[in-house]
Amino acid sequence: MKLVTGNSNRPLAEAIANYLDLPLTDCTVKRFADQEIHVQLHENVRGEDVYILQSTSTPADGHLMELLILTDALRRSSARRITAVIPYFGYARQDRRAIGRTPISAKLVANMIAGAGVHRVITVDLHTDQIQGFFDIPTDNLYAAPVMTRDIEEHYDTKNLMIVSPDVGGVARARAIAKRIGADLAIVDKRRPRAGASEVMNIIGDVSGKSCLLIDDIVDSGGTLINAAEALLEAGAKEVSAYITHGVLSEGACERIGASNLKELVVTDSILETEAQRQTSNIRRIIIAPLIGEALARTARDQSVSSLFN
């Protein structure tokens, strides 16, 4: 078993390697002057079971190309099996044609990954479960719920908690957390007038006097969370925090969250932390390296991965 990483999130790759007590394979992933990506492996991988650790986070295109070129290098070096470990799968929000004359980019990227020579994909909290079906190769979707649940129980009084889904599409994800900690569930009825903008219309459930935790898979601009937090507080919530798997946090998001009514935003380390995140006092990170590491170990031993979430 060998671990290879690109440049998207080396600290996470190192943490996974430490969990597995394995070194990262020595390889070079660099760019020429014109930004063309070049990869060179400095170790023999012939006949090996190789895992590429690479989120397709900002810049999504560059990190995706690193993943594809690493895969080609491993395939041409006679690796026995190549598994792409993609903690954050970019393009996942483009999973359907919501309006005419638009692509289904998630399917296109899935085809590119399989076409490059990947034999299996392991990812964390896909935006929608049906994206697993976009891949024509085995795909394991891991869930951050056990890690979040443990952190919630350590930091919050679960007797007065209300788990909240920021939109109807995320109800299943929020319900899984609510079931684990024995809390009630509320839903924010959100309408999106245009891409990148959201407007909260209604709160489904009684949140009066409750400590509310918003649960979602991705936070990008932060607008949805901030609007949902304001609506919950107006509905009588005592305080509002959020647990989000993937902290995309595009430019300006950290400043908006820092100035918002959110008590705390908790994200995993699936995406590399930025300096803006480190300087924002109400953003905290939790670690998912042990979860991913255990999934890789079980995959290498041909053991059940789904039992991690039972």
Ligand-binding site membership of 117 (annotated):
no
Q: Which of 107, 190, 210, 238 is catalytic?
A: 190
What confidence score (pLDDT) does residue 196 get? 57
pLDDT tens-digit map of 180-200: 999 999 999 877 666 656 576
Confidence check: pLDDT of 112 > 60: yes
Ligand-binding site membership of 167 (annotated):
yes
Global pTM value:
0.94
What confidence score (pLDDT) does residue 194 get? 65
Helix (H) or strand (E) holding 2: strand 2-5
Q: Which two tokens stand for residue 76?
A: 């041409």
Average pLDDT over residues 11-20: 98
Q: Which distant-in-sequence residues (6+ apart) come within 8 Å of 228 by Cβ?
A: 164, 166, 188, 190, 200, 214, 240
Average pLDDT over residues 23-28: 97
Q: Which two tokens stand for residue 51?
A: 């895992």
**Annotation marks residue 263 as catalytic:** no
pLDDT tens-digit map of 217-270: 999 999 889 999 999 999 999 999 999 999 999 999 999 999 999 999 999 999
Ligand-binding site membership of 35 (annotated):
yes
Ligand-binding site membership of 105 (annotated):
no
Domains of the chain, with CATH numbers?
A: 2-142+290-309 (3.40.50.2020), 145-287 (3.40.50.2020)
* Side chain identity at residue 145, one-letter code: A
Ligand-binding site membership of 192 (annotated):
yes
> What value, to the nearest 5°, has the Cα angle with vertex 26 and ends 57 and 89?
20
Place 286 in a pLDDT band, splitting at 50, 70 and 90.
very high
What confidence score (pLDDT) does residue 224 get? 87
Q: CA 67, CA 86: separation in Å to the nearest integer? A: 9
Ligand-binding site membership of 36 (annotated):
yes
